Amino acid sequence: MIMKNEIVESNCPNCNIGIKWTNDYPERPFCSVRCKNNDFIGWANEEKTIAGNPSYEDIFSEDGA
């Protein structure tokens, strides 16, 4: 029996810790609110671009269509 919704694993963009794409991580793709805020502050201070994030592209391409 194959689960229809596989749990996607990802990495926190801030600290790179492994997380799972589940409700256990409401701040996903971040591991915690702290990392989420850290990243947001980073965005505000310097316009950094996320170039190529393979994990996300996989998620969307598999779920799309």
> In the window 34-53, what residues touch Zn ion (CB under 5 A)?
35
**Which of the ranges 7-15, 21-29, 43-51, 53-61 carries the binding residues for Zn ion, by CB under 5 A?**
7-15
Return the number of other C-beta atoms located less than 10 Å from residue 10's C-beta. 20
Any contact of residue 19 with Zn ion (CB under 5 A)?
no
Q: Is the dihedral of CA 38, 43, 44, 46 positive or negative?
A: positive
CB of 16 to Zn ion, least distance (A): 7
E-assigned strand segments in 1-65? 9-11, 18-20
Contacts with Zn ion by CB under 5 A lie at 12, 14-15, 31, 35
